[in-house]
Every structure is written in structure tokens, then in C-alpha cells.
Amino acid sequence: MIKVTENLAVNLPDEGNWDIVIEPQANLLDIKLKDVWQYRDLLFLFVKRDITAQYKQTILGPLWHFIQPVFTTIVFVMVFGKIANIPTDGIEPVLFYMSGITIWNYFSSCLNSTSGTFVANAGIFGKVYFPRLVIPLSTMMSNMVKFGIQFFLLIVAIGYFGLTNGSFYFGFSWLLVPLLVIMMAAMGLGAGIIISSLTTKYRDFTVLIGFAVQLLMYATPVAYPLSYLKNESVINVVRYNPLTPIIEAFRFSLFNKGDFNGFQLLYSSIFIIVVLFIGLIIFSKVERTFMDTV
């Protein structure tokens, strides 16, 4: 009796015990998150590479990340504040623009850098296998560092205006900030990997994405508050933009001023989850054969 089972045990594994099966078609939902977990060391090394390589042979190093939000804020204060006279929901204009720019920049840099995943990394993808998702995840995380630096600048600005004007707010709503940042990251990642997957064979979208992100900023209350909008059709465009509630909630959590609507944020969350899910499916379908067409 024992012998029989032993024989079975010897014969069976040869047929079904394969670790890797390479086949033309894969399950639609085969996203391989487990593989990504196995390659987590690679993920962190890519993040480290992106960050350290960026500042090699520069003198100011990470300080360069201050330049962009500072100058953009100055321009926004001049154009939207001084020339167009757009109100800022009772928030100090510099802080209003800077907060919007900081969180928007994170989204746009996530989207821009992940949307080039396949094309930019074709060289390395063609030579070695690792879960392709590691690359967009790592760019998202290294952009997070850049965001951290710019957020620090924002905190400094908040502190400065708090000391000079005495209007300083610090409360539990600050706890919302990490969630909002993660939502922005997920949105950037989801949209980015969809675009990346669409551009492997036909590059048409790459042309589009650069200015589409810029235009999208104007449909998001970065340079103006949602409450300023009067025209019905314009309001609807901006309101149904899933990024709007995040920006508004970001300002609300930092300054306790402006519109904040929990349902709106829920709408954004659902939208983001759907985009991310679709993105993951398309991405893992495309990653299997994109080397043939890229």
C-alpha cells in the first residue's frame, strides 16, 4: 500500500509541478502582484537609483526641487491673483497657489513618467524578466520623495505666514493628507500605465499626453477655487473631474477653509480604483508581448 502511493508521488510531479509556464494567452486577471512582492528589493533599488542618479554632479542637489514650485507660485500670484483678481477662498494667496501646485505636480510627474514605462525601458525589458510593474511603482515612489521635498517647502511657507499673520491652522484634518497623496499617486499610476500600454505599438498618444496634462490642470481647481466658478457648464466639467475633490480636500485639510464634500471624495476614490484596475489589466496583458512591437 505504501509502495503504491510512493510511486504515485514520484510520477505525478513531473506532469503538474512546473514553476513557470510560458504560454501565448494568460488569464485576464493574472496581474502577478506576488511577483512584485518578491522583487521588492529591486523596487527600492530603483527608487534609490532614480534619486541618487538625479543629483550626481549637481551642486544644489535636491534643492532644485524648490525652484519650480517657488517660481510657479510667483507667476500664479501675479497672473491669477494680481491680474485676474481671482479670490482664494480666504486663504493667503501664496499658500493657496503653492498647495495646489505641490499636489498637482505630484500627479502630473507620476503620470508623465509612468506613461513612458514601456518605451523608455524597452532596452532593459528586452534583456531580462522581472515584473514590469516594478518600474512604474518605483517612479511613483521616487516622485514621492520629490513631493516630500516640495511639501516640506509648503510647510515652511505655512509656518512663515502663520507667524507673520497669526492665522495658523493645525488640526486632525491634516491626517487626511497622506490619503490624498496616495489617491493622487494611484490616479497618476493608473492613467500612466494605461497610456504606456497604449503607446507601445502606436506612438500617437505620446504626442498628446504632454499638453493634455497641462490642459487638464485648467480643468482642475489648481489656480482658482471651485467656489469661484459661476457658469453652470464649466462647473460641471470641473466638478466631475475626479481630481477636483482631491485638490479641494487637500486645501481643506491644510487650511480648514473651502469646500469639502465627503461624497465627492468617495466618487474620486471609486473612479481611481476603477482606472487603476483597468490599468493593471491592460498593463499585464501588454507586458507579455510588447517587446515585439515597441
Partner 1 sequence: MSTVIKVENLSKQYRLGQVGTGSLAHDLNRFWHRMRGKEDPYLKIGEINDRSVKGSSEYVWALKDINFEVKHGEVLGIIGRNGAGKSTLLKILSRTTTPTTGSVKLKGRVASLLEVGTGFHPELSGRENIFLNGAILGMTKHEIKSKFDEIVDFSGVDRYIDTPVKRYSSGMYVRLAFAVAAFLEPDILIIDEVLAVGDAEFQKKALGKMKDVSNKEGRTVLFVSHNMTAVEALCENVVIIEKGTVKYTGHTIEGIKDYLRIESDKGTFKVATQEFEWLNFYSKPQFDANEDLEFQIEFNSRATYNELFVDCAIVNEKGDIVIHIKSDTITSPHAAREGKVLTNFLVESPKLVPGNYSITIYAYNKSEVLFWGENIVGFKINSKSFFGNRMFIENNRGVLLPRIDVTFQQS
289 contacts partner 1 (rule: CB under 8 A): yes
What type of residue sits at position 240? Answer: Y
**Residues from 129 through 158 that contact partner 1 (CB under 8 A):** 129-130
Measured from the CB atom, is 50 or 259 closer to partner 1? 50
CA-CA distance, 112 to 125, in Å (whole number)?
A: 19
Cα–Cα distance list, 57 to 53, 62, 145, 222 (Å): 9, 12, 19, 34
Asked whether the beta carbons of 267 and 245 are under 8 A apart, the reply is: yes
Contacts of partner 1 in 204-263 (CB under 8 A):
none
Residue of the chain from 126, 160, 210, 214 that contacts partner 1 (CB under 8 A): 126
Give the closest residue to 151 by CA, choosing from 105, 193, 188, 209. Answer: 105
Compute CA distances 220 → 41, 55, 250, 258, whole Å. Answer: 36, 32, 13, 15
Quote the least distance from Cβ 119 to partner 1, whole Å. 13
Q: Is 164 in the site for partner 1 (CB under 8 A)?
A: no
- Of 42 and 176, the one with the shorter C-beta distance to partner 1 is 42
171 lies in the site for partner 1, by CB under 8 A: no
Q: Which segment (111-119, 124-132, 146-154, 227-235) binds partner 1 by CB under 8 A? A: 124-132
Confirm if 115 and 209 have CB atoms less than 8 A apart.
Answer: yes
Which amino acid appears at position 283 of this protein?
Answer: F
**Cα within 13 Å of Cα(183), Cβ side:** 23
- The helix (run of H) or strand (run of E) holding residue 117 is helix 117-120
Among 42, 77, 120, 179, binds partner 1 (CB under 8 A): 42
For the beta carbon of residue 177, count every other beta carbon within 10 angstroms.
Answer: 15
Report in angstroms how near the CB of residue 45 gets to partner 1 at its nearest.
5
Q: Among 253, 222, 68, which residue's Cα sits nearest to residue 149?
A: 68
Any contact of residue 172 with partner 1 (CB under 8 A)? no
Q: Rule CB under 8 A: which of 1-40 touch partner 1?
A: 14, 17-24, 26, 39
Q: Is residue 288 within the footprint of partner 1 (CB under 8 A)?
A: yes
Which of 67, 78, 124, 212: binder of partner 1 (CB under 8 A)? 124
Size of the site for partner 1 (CB under 8 A): 36
Which of 28, 53, 67, 270 is in the footprint of partner 1 by CB under 8 A? 53
Residues found near partner 1 in the complex (CB under 8 A): 14, 17-24, 26, 39, 41-42, 44-46, 48-49, 52-53, 56-57, 124-130, 201-202, 288-289, 291-293
